[in-house]
């Protein structure tokens, strides 16, 4: 079987998006005893969710971990919930969609809970030396949207799915700082190396499925 990891292409002010790079790095790697499938999603409402539906159909994954960039956050954020709201808060998606206070699904529930073991994933990350925390808001941009739709697609199945928001990379933070006031005592945004992002995603799958994908008999 496979495990499916998605990330995103660059968007807004960001020239790179570590989430897409993490997905590409995991593609073809054995993760939690399964073949990793890593794909980069277009940052566009509708298109990204439809691609996710196609990927789930095509690969029938044992678990899904979607990821996205959350510049400014200081740790990997394991999202607990997705809400039925689409609002880009002034950062239109890459197709120019700029929803304000819309519902993702007019008839859907107000929220859907991640089906990953959220707290245990954070514990596993922290034990492995990866800064991480539970987050109670994935925002209202596309990352929240993909989590909401993925959970809807997998409702009623036993396929765990969730979302990890990733901080900026050190390179992104340095670039932003070089355009700012760091040389005059100004601040620098928090960052995390991509290798730690990759480890966090692997640990999310391992925590959900077991390190061998749940294939070894219970001892």
Residues tagged active-site: 79, 143, 165
Sketch the per residue contact string, 142 through 181, with ligand PCA: x for CB under 6 A, - otherwise.
xx--------------------------------------
* Among the residue ranges 103-111, 138-146, 177-185, 189-197, the one whose residues contact ligand PCA (CB under 6 A): 138-146
For ligand PCA, the closer of residues 62 and 85 by Cβ is 85
Which runs of consecutive H residues, i.e. helices, occur in the chain? 18-26, 47-59, 118-127, 142-153, 170-178, 194-209
Per CB under 6 A, does 139 bind ligand PCA? Answer: yes
Contact 76, 192 (CB under 8 A): yes
Give the DSSP letter of residue 86. Answer: B
Single out the residue of 34, 39, 73, 141 in contact with ligand PCA (rule: CB under 6 A).
141
For ligand PCA, the closer of residues 83 and 143 by Cβ is 143
For ligand PCA, the closer of residues 25 and 143 by Cβ is 143
Burial class of residue 92, CB neighbours in 10 A (0-12, 13-18, 19+): middle
Q: How many CA atoms lie within 13 A of 11 on its CB side?
A: 28
Single out the residue of 31, 40, 43, 63 in contact with ligand PCA (rule: CB under 6 A).
43
Instruction: Report, in Å, the least distance between residue 166 CB and ligand PCA.
Output: 8
Per CB under 6 A, does 68 bind ligand PCA? Answer: yes
Distance between CA atoms of residues 76 and 45, nearest Å = 23
Burial class of residue 123, CB neighbours in 10 A (0-12, 13-18, 19+): middle
Contact positions vs ligand PCA (CB under 6 A)? 8, 11, 17, 19, 43, 68-70, 139, 141-143
């Amino acid at each position: 079987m496979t495990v499916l990891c998605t990330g995103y292409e660059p968007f807004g002010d960001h020239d790179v998006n570590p989430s897409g790079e993490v997905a590409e790095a995991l593609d073809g790697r054995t993760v939690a005893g399964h073949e990793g499938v890593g794909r980069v999603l277009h940052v566009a409402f509708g298109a990204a969710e439809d691609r996710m539906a196609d990927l789930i159909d095509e690969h029938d994954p044992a678990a899904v971990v979607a990821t996205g960039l959350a510049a400014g956050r200081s740790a990997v954020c394991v999202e607990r919930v997705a809400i039925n709201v689409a609002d880009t808060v002034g950062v239109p998606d890459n197709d120019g969609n700029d929803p304000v206070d819309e519902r993702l699904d007019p008839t859907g529930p107000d929220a859907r809970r991640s089906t990953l073991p959220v707290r245990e994933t954070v514990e596993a990350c922290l034990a492995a030396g990866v800064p991480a925390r539970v987050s109670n808001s994935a925002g209202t941009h596309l990352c929240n949207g993909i989590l909401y739709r993925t959970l809807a697609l997998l409702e009623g199945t036993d396929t765990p799915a969730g979302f990890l928001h990733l901080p900026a990379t050190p390179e992104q933070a340095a670039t932003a700082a070089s355009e700012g006031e760091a040389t005059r005592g100004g601040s620098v945004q928090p960052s995390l190396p991509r290798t730690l992002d990759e480890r966090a995603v692997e640990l999310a799958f391992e925590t959900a499925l077991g390190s061998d994908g749940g294939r070894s008999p219970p001892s």
